[in-house]
Structure 1
Amino acid sequence: MINKFLDYISVEKRYSQNTLVSYKKDLEDLLLFISETEGTEDLKKVDKKIIRNFIVSLSEKKIQKRSINRKLSSLRSFYLYLLKIGEIQVSPLETIPSLKFYAEKQIPISEEEMENLGEILESDSGNSLEKLIIETLYQTGMRKSELCNILLDQVDFSKSEISIKGKGNKQRVVPISENLLKQMREYIAIRKPNEDSGIYFFVRENGKKLSEKFVYSVVNRYLSLITLKKKKSPHILRHSFATHVLNNGAEISKVKKILGHSSLASTQVYTNGNIEQLKRVFNQAHPRAYKKED
């Protein structure tokens, strides 16, 4: 049942491999739960009471509300699929709401901190791959999963751009600076992939394809050199990229395309709390916001 559902969302919905892995894990968690508490492994027998008990058990394990909501989203998709193929008559999640929570505010790395990191990277004679990982994430705003899966032929040196396959296998093209282009050329010259990783642009010194865990570790270590902020992840570099380019006058619709957001609301998150920048733009642009010289 689970495998047929995964085949469906892979072929029909064209979900990414990362999404498939997450959905499988969420469904297997529910399967284990009903096996231990209900004595069955038949997911078609799950009802609203079982779902509520499952949510309680996740909360008792100190699973964050955001993660629980993601699991509920996976389960909703699964049971909608069972409805579609006629295996059930009512979804057990039909009236189950997502948990309410206040999202923790993401504080971007400041431009000054990133300038300090740039100086550290420039003076560091160490691992060129690790430095390139930082620069690529910060200069393009791509996700760590996207970075790990960039293929050689997706980097167009003649056009100074990268073609990125994002969520839902949606393609977007992101421009790259001359500086980043130069670093990429230098990296290609020393890159030594093994037989399995040859198609990927980024490979480790041992020849293996990058893992998301490795990328997180690299980013966390370098950001720890320049900031005391709690969040020091690849996503914070993406957040910082968006915040900095918007601060410096980039059009939000253009930033939306570069980030691969499906809606403008997702991009607008990076403008929250930026009231001083909004004041400057207002004072410069609105005819009633300043006094014209006589």
Structure 2
Amino acid sequence: MFLARFIQYIKYEKRYSAHTVSAYQSDLDQFMRFLNNPGGADPAPEPVITHPSQVSYHDIRNWMVELIDQKLTGRSVNRKMATLRKYFKFLLQEGIVETNPVSRVRSQKVAKTLPVVVEDTRLTKMLDSDDIFTNDFPGLRDKLVIELLFGTGIRLAELLGIKEQDISFEGGVVKVLGKRNKERIIPINNELKSLLPEYLGLKKNQNFDNNSFTLIVTNKGADAYPKLIYLIVQKYLSNISTQNKRSPHVLRHTFATTMLNNGADLNSIKELLGHANLSATQIYTHNSVERLKSIYKLAHPKA
């Protein structure tokens, strides 16, 4: 009952994305299973926790220990703790509990990692090639997906949410709906200006039954879904990258890093990415510093 109320709260009042709501639901379901079956007994015993006020700091600490024993990364553990922190903060506001047992839990130390990117010159060469993408609807759709992710730096959820009417050819921009339902306007490059009308014309000629106005659709005309975009990105990035991580977010990182390397200022990149604060954008400066170091080592005789 309380969990359902919380999910309704973040879904309709906080207006979190479907992906975020699903992640919160999964974390909380996992925590509840742990509380009522800490030893992993089979079959599970009758529930021992019937009200959130019964949950203690020690229960949360024990779950954290189990997550660490399961070899989860510090980042993943911290995300689950953040879910609990948000949940109990909601319960506190609603007067359902008197204290937040998560407030005493310390976050795990997380090693700073640089954003994973692909080489922009190789990516551009692939997109400009006539041999990579087929000329039919799936091929043109796949190319548009890569061009949009690399050309605008938008998130996966933002890509899936774009409607045909969100594109302004006259203004040369696309409107996207970001986190917390914040709209932003992003310029589109010349390649997208020519590719989008071609794609939309081919999409219309497919005569799909449902006639969806969502920009990116499946081969049958249904709205695209996250796994489809992942498969598209992985398929084409495998042509130019041997790294294990080949996700839509890698193209977002590549967009930001490329912009920074070519002289864009951080505040402009922040606005384009839809970051709430500059600290989230500053991580891309580390990639640029590493690039400068490598250039220095290759070019300077004393390096």
Please say whether Structure 1 and Structure 2 have the same fold, judged by a TM-score greater than 0.5: yes
86-95 or 59-68, which deviates more: 59-68
Matched, 1:151 2:152: no
1:49 and 1:243 map into 2 onto residues whose CA distance is 42
* SS of residue paired to 1:274: helix
Matched, 1:240 2:261: no
The corresponding residue for 1:198 is 212
Structure 2 segments unaligned to the other structure (5+ residues): 39-46, 294-303
- How far off is 1:72 after superposition? 1.0
Matched, 1:101 2:101: no
**Residues 261 and 240 (structure 1), Cα distance of their counterparts in 2 relative to 1, 3 Å cut:** same
165-174 or 28-37, which deviates more: 28-37
The corresponding residue for 1:186 is 198
1:98 and 1:23 map into 2 onto residues whose CA distance is 18
* SS of residue paired to 1:74: helix
The TM-score normalised by the length of structure 2 is 0.85
The corresponding residue for 1:166 is 178
User: Do the aligned residues in 2 keep the contact of 1:31 with 1:41 (CA within 8 Å)?
Assistant: no
User: Do the aligned residues in 2 keep the contact of 1:34 with 1:41 (CA within 8 Å)?
Assistant: no
The corresponding residue for 2:4 is 3
1:139 and 1:31 map into 2 onto residues whose CA distance is 42
158-167 or 226-235, which deviates more: 226-235
The corresponding residue for 2:298 is none
Amino acid at match of 2:190: E
The corresponding residue for 1:112 is 121
User: Do the aligned residues in 1 keep the contact of 2:114 with 2:287 (CA within 8 Å)?
Assistant: no
1:137 and 1:23 map into 2 onto residues whose CA distance is 26
How many residues align? The count is 278
The corresponding residue for 1:272 is 286
**Residues 274 and 245 (structure 1), Cα distance of their counterparts in 2 relative to 1, 3 Å cut:** same
RMSD over aligned CA atoms reads 2.0
> Deviation digits for residues 192-230 of structure 1, max 9, x if unmatched?
5553x7131110111121111111111111111112223
Amino acid at match of 1:4: R
> Deviation digits for residues 224-282 of structure 1, max 9, x if unmatched?
11122232111111111111111111122111111000111111111114238779xxx
2:88 and 2:130 map into 1 onto residues whose CA distance is 49
User: Do the aligned residues in 2 keep the contact of 1:194 with 1:208 (CA within 8 Å)?
Assistant: no
**Residues 252 and 105 (structure 1), Cα distance of their counterparts in 2 relative to 1, 3 Å cut:** closer
The TM-score normalised by the length of structure 1 is 0.88
- How far off is 1:169 after superposition? 0.9
Structure 1 segments unaligned to the other structure (5+ residues): 280-294
* SS of residue paired to 1:173: strand
The corresponding residue for 1:286 is none
**Residues 12 and 104 (structure 1), Cα distance of their counterparts in 2 relative to 1, 3 Å cut:** same
Identical counterparts, % of pairs: 33
* SS of residue paired to 2:240: coil
* Map 1:14-93 → 2, pairs under 5 A: 14-37=15-38, 39-93=48-102
- How far off is 1:186 after superposition? 0.9
User: Do the aligned residues in 2 keep the contact of 1:108 with 1:239 (CA within 8 Å)?
Assistant: yes
